[in-house]
Amino acid sequence: MYILANWKNSLSLEDSKGLADGLYSRFIQQYHNINIVLFPDDVSIATVSLIFDSVSMVSVGAQDGPLGANTTLTGSISLSNLGKFCDYVLLGHSERRITLGETNEMIARKATLAIDVGVIPVICVNKEDGTEIDPHSGLKAQLESILNRIDSRSKFVIAYEPIDAIGTGISADPKEVKKIAGIIHETIFLSRKVKGSPHIPVLYGGSINDKNIKSFLSLEGIDGVLIGSAGLTADNFLRIIEKASDSQYLK
Ligand code: 13P
């Protein structure tokens, strides 16, 4: 099971270090079968990664990856730093799709580069706000763009984050999330009928907290969650881990 925390650009380096130290000192090592991935901002990645160097259940990821192997893209993390400090990279978050105009093609290019340096992409997808799911919806196009470019034996993760559930305190309807997780798994299955294809975990994100997490972890087809604001304090995040560690959710 996956518990991912996207710290966005909410924390200073000092705050990121303080949060990582706080989590490190209170993590109980018996949380087997939970993959915790922390996504600090680029300035804090090396510091946070060092703190969890010896903790196998905690990985660190970047919030975005480079678009190409070239070394002259101002504002981008280098491919070598991505490969050195990160096990995961978050790609295609709706905040970036909307604010920076990131396209499916750019996201797929970043994903293939990340895989080349041994980093697992976590690709965020959403349904277009307010539209029904249909074969031409944003969700299908987002998935197909990735599936067409990534080798069938490569591992990645999909995070379904409906835009209207992000940062609003109003999470999506679990019934709807279950339905969409089913569509995502089916789309992936149909395009990757290759022996040896790894299981592609599907996560839900959007206003997750310690009160509602169980209703998402118990859903068929959901392998974990991507948390935003509830991951910014050690107390809140540890409460979530505690709930998630209930063995019935450990898929
Ligand atoms: P919130 O949990 O704050 O809604 O943020 C979700 C998110 O954007 C995670 O990537």
Mind giving me the DSSP string for 162-194? -GGGTTSS-PPPHHHHHHHHHHHHHHHHHH---
* pLDDT-based confidence at residue 32 (cuts at 50, 70, 90): confident
Q: For domain 2-249, say whether CATH 3.20.20.70 is its number.
A: yes
Q: Which of 239, 243, 242 is nearest to 230 (CA)?
A: 239
Contact 158, 152 (CB under 8 A): no
Provide residues with CB under 6 Å of ligand 1: 6, 93, 161, 166-167, 205-208, 226-230
DSSP structural state of residue 118: T
Rounded to the nearest angstrom, the distance between the alpha carbon of 192 and the centre of ligand 1 is 29
Q: Read off the pLDDT of residues 181-211 as tens digits, 9 standing for 90 and up.
A: 999 999 999 998 777 889 999 999 999 999 9
Domain boundaries, the chain: 2-249
Closest ligand 1 atom to residue 207 Cα is 4
Contact 204, 177 (CB under 8 A): yes
Give the count of alpha carbons within 13 A of 144, CB side only: 7
The whole-number pLDDT of residue 208 equals 98
Give the catalytic positions in this structure. 93, 161
Closest ligand 1 atom to residue 166 Cα is 4
pTM score, whole prediction: 0.94
Contact 206, 172 (CB under 8 A): yes
Q: Read off the pLDDT of residues 92-134 as tens digits, 9 standing for 90 and up.
A: 999 999 999 999 999 999 999 999 999 999 999 997 654 544 4
